[in-house]
Structure 1
Amino acid sequence: MLSLQHLTKSFGTMKAVDDVSFDVHHGEILGLIGQNGAGKTTTFRMILNFIEPDIGAITWNGAPFTQNQYDELGYLPEERGLFPKMTVENQIVYFAELRGMKRADVRREIPQWLSRFEVKAKATDKIKDLSKGNAQKIQLIATLIHQPKLVILDEPFSGLDPVNVGILREGIMTLKQQGAAIIYSDHNMDNVEQVSDQLVMLRSGQMVLHGTVDQVRQSFGRVKLTIESPLTAEELRAIPGVVTVVPHHQKLELTLADETVGRRVFELATKNGYIPEFNQQPPTLEEIFKLKAGEPNV
């Protein structure tokens, strides 16, 4: 288990990370979200021992990291770092050897990894000749081929089409099933919601959300309502506690002041019987992200 306890890091007068604590268990994915500058990268760099915290501690399975244990870690940075003139094989071998793998073992495993991620390239192709998507797959393979027990993925799906996102997501889920602890960061909240067991949101270095995806969403109440009924938008807006009404195809999407308003909407919509749809849900993770990111600092 990775455990962060009361991490704090300042650069001059700017506090980049302010008393951040969370755990990531084996076989679990934690989504770390926040706007640019929220403190995610600084947190990653402290875990990776690139920089030291001013206050707090980082432990792996109950003890500080040893130098050898850093070979058990896989890191995919937001800034990609492939060498354009290298071949696919030599690039993967290079990174794997840095993590303690033997060259012969890496070369033996490369074909199955290229197949698993459906890389449209040969091992002898040069990185500079690959599409962006295939280059991104190569970097992810280089991050995972040594079977790390702790993985940090910073924007792994950036710029990929939905098909390739699905392929890479399956690879990450396989690693989770094998027992890896994974920290995953993305600005696409749909991706975060689909893969994360728990999430942490940072704003100005402070934790403002922490829990499972369901816990976080449910904490905001079932204030989003989609309805298809005889009621018009004007009639719905006239109901006390209905904050907004937005037409969406044949349906209307409502935001409620609180979830109890849904009962009144339901009673009015169904007074003459059956209606095609009434769906009351918590806000999506993207809506929560926008709400929390826009709150003033206190």
Structure 2
Amino acid sequence: MPGRRESRKDKWRVQYAIEARSLQKRFGDKLAVRDIDLVAREGEILGFLGQNGAGKTTTIRMILGILSPDAGQCEVLGSRRPLEIAHRIGYLPEERGLYPAMTTRDTIAFMGALRGLPLADGRRRAAELLERYQLGAEVDAKIRTLSKGMAQKVQLLGSFVHEPDLIILDEPFSGLDPVNQQALEDIISVQRQRGATILFSTHIMGHAERLCDRLVVIAGGQTRFTGSVAEARGVLPAVGALLAERPVPAGLLPGDAYRAEGGEWRFSVPDDGVDRLLRALLDADVGIRDFSVERPTLHDAFVAMVGDPEAEDARRDAAVDAPAGEVL
């Protein structure tokens, strides 16, 4: 009908696989999730970023219906009862767990059966997936005989053997070597090409930078940023670097310019770009030996938003290793 306004419910179901608004969750005296908003559009890969302990897993469990929020609301694939549509969702939890005596094929088929896939179909699809992802020789191997990377790949295959519309992966790359990390990235990309919406949590920026259409960054149980990778990197200015043969006149470079080790000048790139600055430097005849612009990485932007996850991990490890009574 011409002029008909789309209702909120229609819009929700058309645009979003997940829409979570103002989620809160308390455990005793601790407010683990304070006020999180998270929207995943249909068919996209959404990165859910935060340091360890930021509230990612708690939020994911509320989205899945494993935990009930104390406040806020969430719809998943158009339903407020995600447990009733579990057959449309694939889930890889942060805590890995497989039956060591089962074969890889039966493990994947069993995980599919838990989501409503007939066991015979699950076994057939499991064999196909194992062959496709270089595990065909292990189709009848016991889980206990697999390497950690292989076992994690099997569990990932089990999370989407039933071909769900939505796949949620909680820290899928944790503890894997670079080869297996790349294999998991390839699997995630193929599932998106199939049409699935994918949400994965991580505190490793490289995976998010390569895979994600958009990001949600949280810290302290609150949403700090939502947008594309480019928008996240845009939180910080680009940095210019100048190496000149002769002194640079005072006031010519941006106000935050400083001289680094080796005589190189470093400064924030002006909002209007570097054309005017370069012309001024040429007119001043400073003898430009080198001039470059460095764009901030996603890691740089993440640290600016929430702190350095690698430094926090190192601090936590040091605290664990410290002798009794020693304060770090």
Q: Which structure is higher in RCO with an 8 Å CA cutoff and minimum separation 6?
A: 1
Paired amino acid for 1:223: A
Partner of 1:223: 238
Partner of 1:6: 22
* Equivalent residue in structure 2 for 1:169, among 182, 185, 189: 185
* Separation in structure 2 between the aligned mates of residue 158 and residue 253 of structure 1, nearest angstrom: 39
Q: 1:78–1:67: structure 2 CA closer, same or farther, 3 Å change rule?
A: closer
Work out which of the two has the higher radius of gyration on C-alpha atoms and give 1 or 2: 2
Partner of 2:229: 213
Q: Residues 119 and 137 of structure 1 are in contact (CA less than 8 Å); yes or no, is this contact kept in structure 2?
A: no
Cα offset, 1:208, TM superposition? 0.8
Cα offset, 1:269, TM superposition? 6.2
Q: TM-score, normalised by structure 2?
A: 0.77
Q: 1:252–1:265: structure 2 CA closer, same or farther, 3 Å change rule?
A: farther
Q: TM-score, normalised by structure 1?
A: 0.84
* Separation in structure 1 between the aligned mates of residue 250 and residue 294 of structure 2, nearest angstrom: 16
* Equivalent residue in structure 1 for 2:135, among 119, 143, 159: 119
Partner of 1:291: 304
Q: Give the gaps of 5 or more residues in structure 1.
A: none
Q: Give the gaps of 5 or more residues in structure 2.
A: 1-16, 309-328
Partner of 1:15: 31
Q: Residues 237 and 244 of structure 1 are in contact (CA less than 8 Å); yes or no, is this contact kept in structure 2?
A: no
* Separation in structure 2 between the aligned mates of residue 37 and residue 204 of structure 1, nearest angstrom: 8
Number of equivalenced pairs: 289
Paired amino acid for 1:224: V
Q: 1:211–1:168: structure 2 CA closer, same or farther, 3 Å change rule?
A: same
Identity rate of aligned residues, in percent?
Answer: 37
Q: 1:244–1:29: structure 2 CA closer, same or farther, 3 Å change rule?
A: farther
Q: Residues 237 and 245 of structure 1 are in contact (CA less than 8 Å); yes or no, is this contact kept in structure 2?
A: no
* Separation in structure 2 between the aligned mates of residue 174 and residue 245 of structure 1, nearest angstrom: 47
* Equivalent residue in structure 1 for 2:293, among 262, 279, 292: 279
Cα deviations across residues 125-149 of structure 1 (Å, max 9, x unaligned)?
1111111111111111011111111
* Separation in structure 2 between the aligned mates of residue 236 and residue 148 of structure 1, nearest angstrom: 63
Q: Residues 2 and 181 of structure 1 are in contact (CA less than 8 Å); yes or no, is this contact kept in structure 2?
A: no
* Separation in structure 2 between the aligned mates of residue 237 and residue 96 of structure 1, nearest angstrom: 68
* Separation in structure 2 between the aligned mates of residue 224 and residue 22 of structure 1, nearest angstrom: 31
Q: Residues 168 and 199 of structure 2 are in contact (CA less than 8 Å); yes or no, is this contact kept in structure 1?
A: yes
Partner of 2:144: 128
Q: In the TM superposition, what are the counterparts of 1:60-75 in structure 2 within 5 Å? A: 60-65=76-81, 67-75=83-91
Q: 1:290–1:66: structure 2 CA closer, same or farther, 3 Å change rule?
A: closer
Q: Residues 236 and 242 of structure 1 are in contact (CA less than 8 Å); yes or no, is this contact kept in structure 2?
A: no
Q: In the TM superposition, what are the counterparts of 1:119-198 in structure 2 within 5 Å? A: 119=135, 121-198=137-214
* Equivalent residue in structure 1 for 2:59, among 24, 43, 50: 43
